[in-house]
Chain A
Amino acid sequence: MKLYVVVWIGLILIVGLEVFLTYERLPAGTLLACLLALALIEAALGVMYFMHLKYERPALFWSLIPYLLFALVMMDHFWPDALRLMRQRMPGP
């Protein structure tokens, strides 16, 4: 249980860091990158320790995680269109 408590404390500290960074008034893109990186670290900790994927056979990891990452990468096609619309915004009066 000690390991799990350490992971739990680590996750709470990461959430605290996320809130701290939010109020540091970073540029939106930088803040988004930081928050996503921290969320991915949290997800990795949760999956590997709380969900025990670290202790399963490697075949399970290689059958599940690359598929999910592939599915998420395939969803990235529409970002250029979103960025195009963002750049088309009219300047304010």
Chain B
Amino acid sequence: MGHSVIGAPLEASPYGIQSKKLAMWLFIVADAATFGAILFAYGYLRLANPDWSRPFAFSPTILNGCVMTVVLLTSSLTIVAAVSAAQAGRTSTSVRWLGATMLLGIVFAALHLREWFAMIGVGWRLFQNPMGGSPLFGATFFGITGLHLLHVMCGVIVIGAITLGFRRGRFDAGHVETTALYWHFVDLVWMFVFPLVYLMNVR
């Protein structure tokens, strides 16, 4: 049992984890509810609109989505390797795996943006549907994938900051593990976005 700065005894965590890790779990649950809400709203709009567009062909969209999924899943594996190395005290190995995770995150974002620009190029907008169907397709597609892409970009930046701090000794393995939790969550959200937003809208 530790003591606070005024000398009062501190209770041990009922979860046996650091407070930053518990805070990340609480954030993840709240963020999962946010993504759940927008995916439910998408489901409602899709059911309620009689002229919902199904624009995605196997090539390039679904193929591109499969590559993006594999890239994101692989980045989860590389960050697990980074956490294992950090906990074993192998700082330079951990930093290399964190760098690989960042690189995969950047590749995912680049593939995503390439797909967005291709869609924008043929007339898709937030409230514009070149196929003549419900304009809400663009709103839900760009809204959901945009929120996820924002999470990926934030994740890459945070991993970069944690990597620098960890290499300089300012952060410990607990920081790497907490950051990895966030990155895995971003990966898990995609496991719902890809089937519901892409595969359910195949031509």
Contacts and interface: CB of A to CB of B under 8 A. Distances in A.
B33 A72 contact: yes
A68 B32 contact: yes
Contacts of A50: 76, 80, 184, 187
Nearest to A14: B191
Interface string B156-199: 00000000000000000000000001001101100110111001
Interface string A30-52: 01100110110011001100110
A70 to B, nearest CB: 10
B79 to A, nearest CB: 8
Nearest to A49: B80
Interface string A1-30: 100110010011001001100110000100
Highest count of chain B CB atoms <10 Å: which of A15, A23, A86 = A15
Given A51-B181, A89-B50, A68 B29 contact: yes
A64 B16 CA distance: 15
Contacts of A36: 195-196
Contacts of B191: 11, 39, 42-43, 46
A32 B37 CA distance: 17
Given A1-B84, A86-B48, A46 B184 contact: yes
Contact of B81 (A1, A28, A67, A90): A1
A43 B76 contact: no
A66 to B, nearest CB: 10
Contacts of B26: 64
Contacts of A8: 73-74, 76-77
A35 B77 contact: no
Interface of B: 14-17, 22, 25-26, 29, 32-33, 36-37, 40, 43-44, 47-48, 50, 58, 62, 66, 69-70, 73-74, 76-77, 80-81, 84, 181, 184-185, 187-188, 191-192, 194-196, 199-200, 202
